[in-house]
Amino acid sequence: MLKVGNTVNFTPLIYAIMTTEEREIEFQAKIDNGQKIEPKEWMPENYRKQLIRMISQHAHSEIVGMLPEGNWISRAPSLRRKAVLLAKVQDEAGHGLYLYSAAETLGIDRQTLTDQLLTGKAKYSSIFNYPTLSWADIGAIGWLVDGAAIVNQTMLARGSYGPYSRAMVRICKEESFHNRQGYEIMYELANGTEAQKQMAQDALNRWWGPSIQMLGPSDAASINSSETMKWNIKVESNDVVRQRFIDRTVPQAIAAGLTIPDPDLKYNDETEHWEIGPVDWDEFYRVIKGHGPCNKKRLSDRQRAEKEGEWVREAAIAYAEKQNKKMNSIAA
């Protein structure tokens, strides 16, 4: 029993005498009332598992997602573009760190999560298994990949788990900047020389399909949606989010003078939505099973970074221990 100010909180006592079924009903009522769930509250085991799965995949995506763009920092075409790209890649590292911390509130430690990524047990977003072949790819990533991520994450910010939904608020603000710098690169290339325009169109041709797939399988094939949506971990389905991304992005392509690479693309006046042709789900499943163009390289680059960073972690621990000893001897 906890005493909070002058009031006594009976909740722990009540919880102790409740059956699991009663706890689940109470938990669902909280979710349905739009209440946030905080780390120390009771939660169904599968709610915890689903969150660890999703948040850790998200964290890994931010960390692996630094690789395709990092590839262009030394080759950015101007000092301004270099500074912007460097800041963006650093932001992605920061997102990864907040997200690992959010996952840790659910009782899993950082090393276990890192090991799951490095041994290939954990997934990360399919989109980061494609190569960045030209400077326009950096524009396409900011515009399309961060654009898709923002639409998804704005939805996730309304989700039920406090630490994850709050992390989304700051991440989305930073992603907005990423999205704008990407669109700016694409717009300028599309309105530049013929060769630059072709470079932008080629990047759009290669990144459009994977960006559509990135938002997850169709609702009919989405195995986790029944649980993730029942518990408001996701408040909208994959197809709803995908449609919002399409509706927002097609007019931007038109404004830049670029062509969406889909012969079936059409605007439906009745529904007021852009309709796309069939999505290549075979490609999506191939990539998430490890057979995309860069899966092996992404994993080996992360494994190498982990190994090369070992001495830094050891040095940081040794320094922290030394500081602790010093503080303890002052206190004694």
User: Helix, strand, or coil here: 13?
Assistant: helix
Nearer to ligand BYC, 62 or 262 (CB): 62
* Site for ligand BYC contains 126 (CB under 6 A): yes
Residue 61, interface with ligand BYC (CB under 6 A)? yes
d(CA 264, CA 243): 15
Nearby residues of 277 by Cβ (< 8 Å), 6 or more positions away: 262, 263, 264, 265
CA 113 and chain centroid, separation: 15
Per-residue DSSP letters for 176-190? HHHHHHHHHHHHHHH
Closest-approach residue to ligand BYC (CB): 65
CA-nearest of 168, 210, 177, 205 to 190 is 205
Nearer to ligand BYC, 214 or 256 (CB): 214
Residue 57 binding ligand BYC, by CB under 6 A: yes
Q: How many residues bind ligand BYC (CB under 6 A)?
A: 29
Interaction between residue 125 and ligand BYC (CB under 6 A): yes
- Using an 8 Å Cβ cutoff, are 97 and 181 in contact? no
Minimum CB distance to ligand BYC smaller for 169 or for 327:
169
| Cβ proximity to ligand BYC, 30 vs 123, nearer residue | 123
Of 51, 58, 135, 201, the residue at the interface with ligand BYC (CB under 6 A) is: 58
Shortest CA distance to 164 belongs to which of 226, 214, 228, 221?
Answer: 228
Q: Select the span of 34-42, 120-128, 188-196, 263-271 touching ligand BYC (CB under 6 A).
A: 120-128
Binding region for ligand BYC (CB under 6 A): 53-54, 57-58, 61-62, 65, 92, 123, 125-126, 141, 145-146, 149, 152, 156, 214-217, 222-225, 228, 234, 238, 288
